[in-house]
Structure 1
Amino acid sequence: MTISMRIIKDSVIRTLIYLCAVFSVLLLIGIIVYVLVKGVSAVNWSFLTSVTSVLKGTVGIAGNIVNTILIIFITMVIATPIGIGSAIYLNEYAKPGMVVTVIEYATETLSGIPSIIFGLFGMMFFGEKMGLGYSLMTGALTLIIMVLPLITRNTQEALKTVPNTYRNGAIGLGSGKWHMIRTILIPSAMPGIITGTILAVGRIVGESAALLFTAGSAKQLSNGIEGLLDKPFQSGGTLTIQMYLSATSEGDFETAFGIAVVLLIIVLGINLGTKALTKHFDVTRKE
């Protein structure tokens, strides 16, 4: 192949790559603009702070927002320490072999299972066998199984990026293994750990199939602190569930697009928060 032909081939491939990148960006912008145009008119203070009521003549998603926050909180409080602890064990304590290989294979397999299967399992096991019924707790326990592989694998990859010289240097200076992990390894891997954790939050926010089987669709607000404490054991629909019901069962596309706008803002906030936290810990680590 002559030099001129190689230059032409490289130029064609580079042009195709740029076209693919531009197409992806334009597609994303098109979806965002379409959703904003269709739904931004429905988003106002009343929409965000009230619940839908025929008697009061209000349309709102406050109950769904509370349900979404509760299910994120319950899921992450349980899943985060388990996922990070599992990754630390697999990467730092477990000896390479069949057991580690089987655990990693099982983790990767779990991450590829369709969410609706998790929902069916959660409904039958947590809902029926454990007697939790349709509740936020049933949904949260199901989501824990779903996001654990994501947190574990991202934490593992983050730990693997830390140079072995950090470990050897700390051990050589007389540090214990757990002290080394706690003071050297985890802070160094923190950007990757945070990324995996926030990605898990993003998956929870966008999940609908599993929650249809487990959490139910109630959208009432709790009365007082006692009502809020009882809420995890009651049926509750998240924002994605309400958007699905509004667009299908109720035929209220204005509300559905309004919820879509709220979800876009939440996802954008999650992404910006991820970048800010990652940058902060990168700067801290370099200092």
Structure 2
Amino acid sequence: MVEVVPFLLLGVFSGFIAGLLGVGGGLIMVPVLLYLLTGSVDQAILMHTAVGTALAAIVFTSISSVWTHHQHGAIHWHNFRKLMPTILLGAFSGALLTKLMSFDFMRLFFAFFELTVAVIMYFGFSSSAYVDSLKKRVWRVTGYIIGLVSAVVGIGGGTMTTPFLTYNKVDIKNAIATSAAVGMPIAVAGALGFIVAGWNVENIAEGLGFIHTQALISIVATSVLFAPLGAKVTHSVDGKKLKKFFAIFLALLGINVLSF
């Protein structure tokens, strides 16, 4: 029971943040899982297992947070549909590509990705155009990149979808809600990819491919309860403060992974 407690607490915090920021919770789960799984998972596949497990947990966490955002009428489903086709392709192919990546490459990629997005969000860089004026090919390319990168770093895509939407003048709360919806199909495609990629790998942890099932079950048990709470809080706080908090949060996590 003692071993399960850290995973349960991780589910509480990651679930709440997932609902609050529309990020899926992978940004929290991956760095923490790196520490919790050290010693029980081979170093060579530690990052792969942390990412795969996080994506699998996001599948369940996002369902509960998306429903709460939908009840508030905050999800832009028309934007969701524009991103979906290539996001699914990008997430699945990104998961398969990780089999060719080393632990350090994935760790550094994850850290610098978070720090870059944090700078963009904090300083509020934005486009002169509105999201509805973007051409179809922009949506397709953006969707593929979001899906690909999300699978590599183990996130639901919120750290890319939210900045993309706010950059093109979508309100932060609507961007967060839409990002939460986008996270579910990304997580499904990415998790399936990590199962396939880790199916016949030697020294794999007990689980399903690169997914650590004990950690997954423990995280999901609490995250699905706290994700709706975070989503409710999103709609009761100031949008500008929420955006600044989002950026600082990303920067701290990026620095943490960089120093791992």
Q: Same fold (TM over 0.5)?
A: no
Which one has the largest radius of gyration?
Answer: 1
Greater RCO, CA 8 A, separation 6+: 2
Shorter-chain TM range is 0.3 to 0.5
TM-score norm. by structure 2 comes to 0.33
TM-score norm. by structure 1 comes to 0.31
